[in-house]
A and B are shown apart, each in its own frame.
Chain A
Amino acid sequence: MNTQVTIAGVTFKNPVMTASGTFGSGMEYGEFVDLNRLGAVVTKGVANVPWEGNPTPRVAEVYGGMLNAIGLQNPGIDVFMERDIPFLKQYDTRIIVNVCGRTVEDYVEVVERLGEETAVSMLEINVSCPNVKEGAIAFGQKADALYGITEEIKKHARQPVIMKLSPNVTDITEMARAAEAAGADALSLINTITGMKIDIHKRRFALANKTGGMSGPAIKPIAVRMVYQAAHAVKIPIIGMGGIATAEDAVEFLLAGASAVSIGAMNFVNPYTTVEVVEGIEAYMRQYGVENVTDLIGAV
């Protein structure tokens, strides 16, 4: 039984990763799961300088999921290179660094710094965070803007580039094609879906930011649909995510066309989810006599 997958020339021991922003740089959940078991750790977004993020409340629960408006709080690339990368290097797992910025120059600065670090296998470019006013999603909702930033980052990146797409668009295939045309090596989707919750007793927004990104099992059918559409629109590989709670959910994404999957909000619900999904995919393969996990990719 072979659980390896290869994305843009990078081989992963299995197709299970962590969704950016839900797993830090692995330190916190490393107390619960063996990071060596994961295909990759995808880090929380890192910018060129520290970001404070949004005011609180930053999180709220919704039916079958949650809203967040953290606002990409992060320590900046200097601390990240000194602390987080050496931490992750101790483990036998791939490192994918999520990169955020307010301007193209911000992204390029981080991408260039990460180019010095051979332990980083891939870069994931966050052009889809709905919770910051500048940058991020501003690049991810218009095809020409997405094309422009992808092309610019590709000029500077030493590692293969994953563009993380927003579901908050009219046509996901248009965005997927724009990223591919500009040279993206892979896509990841979906980021969170913009939502809102109002506390009727206090007559206030549940989040200080008013809107937030929705994640959790309730969004999974939307994510599966978008992964399927994107997989049929482009030839580059796709990392699928959105509400994955179990191995069955993960297999669904693989069948829809994802080459790998990421576990996000469910880490908060069950800190052992990542490894349970790894083991569950193996059990599924045994049950159905699947020799290579790659045989599942897009197999519907």
Chain B
Amino acid sequence: MKEKRSAVVLSQEEIAPAVYDMWIETSLAEQAKPGQFLCIYPKDKSTLLPRPISICEVRGDKRALRIVYRVAGAGTAELSEYKKGESIELLGTLGNGFPLEKAATGKIFLMGGGIGVPPILELAKQIAAARKTDQNIIVRDIIIVLGYRDEKTFLKEDFEKYGRVYIATEDGSVGTRGNVMDAIRDNGLAADMIFACGPMPMLRAVKAYAADQKIKAYISLEEHMACGVGACLGCVVKTKEVDHHSHVHNARICTDGPVFDAEEVEIV
């Protein structure tokens, strides 16, 4: 169920330049799924619209959610100032999340680029856990490929708990020089399916790679949003098939996504 409610900041720290790591106490954690997002409302009334921010980690038992975000403007700058104990207004949980059940067999790539890295963490955690407990999930190998600008490889240690981690950096300071696709080639990696989140050029490359390899890819998209709940039709993506809402070729990223089968969306 979607609700707007108050939550409390449990902790916040800067883990890379302009990248912040915040834990929030909220009962929304009990329903949160990897790949879903929250809309966070700035307190400054000049910045009215909610900021869509992906969920990085879920602790339903502790009613806690983790978000890791980059300061991109006035709203996220305000968010980065929040201290422990501060109250925060948020709407959640939003979006469909990653289809965990599609990770049934074989080797999987979990790919994150830049500020698309955080939502992959909870996914990695849940797939790793499901391998042990869910008889239907027979993942042989979790291959995590992360792309960063430079040596500030935030969340890398968290990922190492859940699978083999390969790094690409734009400046070549860590791992492969280049992007996540370069890291795959460089390390001779292969998988049977992909879950990915990252900037649009990366997702385009992932989509092309998946098509070429004839494997499934589920990609998480982002777009400027106003409402976050499917009413304003601001955040659409072109789709191959007619969408169920407007009966054109525009799915709503906030509600039909943000995770899509790469084959279904046109992100050229």
Contacts and interface: CB of A to CB of B under 8 A. Distances in A.
Nearest to B254: A28
A272 to B, nearest CB: 7
B250 A269 contact: no
A24 B48 CA distance: 20
Given A56-B235, A58-B224, A75-B246, A269 B229 contact: no
Given A23-B231, A32-B2, A64-B48, A74 B224 contact: no
Interface string A23-62: 1100011011000000000001000001111001111110
A211 to B, nearest CB: 15
A69 to B, nearest CB: 9
A59 B48 contact: no
Contacts, number: 114
Contacts of A57: 223-224, 234
A270 B4 contact: yes
Given A63-B46, A216-B48, A270-B4, A70 B229 contact: no
Given A53-B250, A65-B48, A217-B48, A268 B223 contact: no
Residue with the highest number of chain A CB atoms closer than 10 Å, among B230, B234, B249: B234
Given A29-B231, A268-B232, A269-B49, A66 B246 contact: no
A75 B225 contact: no
B260 to A, nearest CB: 15
Interface residues of B, number: 35
Interface string B47-66: 11110000000000000000
7 contacts: A29-B231, A32-B2, A53-B233, A56-B224, A58-B224, A74-B246, A268-B228
Highest count of chain A CB atoms <10 Å: which of B4, B226, B248: B226
A132 B224 CA distance: 20
A223 B48 CA distance: 19
Contacts of A270: 4
B45 A64 contact: yes
Contacts of B249: 52
Contact of B223 (A23, A56, A267, A271): A56
Given A31-B229, A32-B4, A75-B245, A59 B224 contact: yes
A98 interface: no
A22 interface: yes
Contacts of B50: 268-269
A73 interface: yes
A61 B47 contact: yes
B45 A58 contact: no
Interface in A56-97: 56-61, 63-66, 68, 70, 73-76, 79
B248 A50 contact: yes
Q: Which of B4, B45, B248 has the most CB of A within 10 A?
A: B248
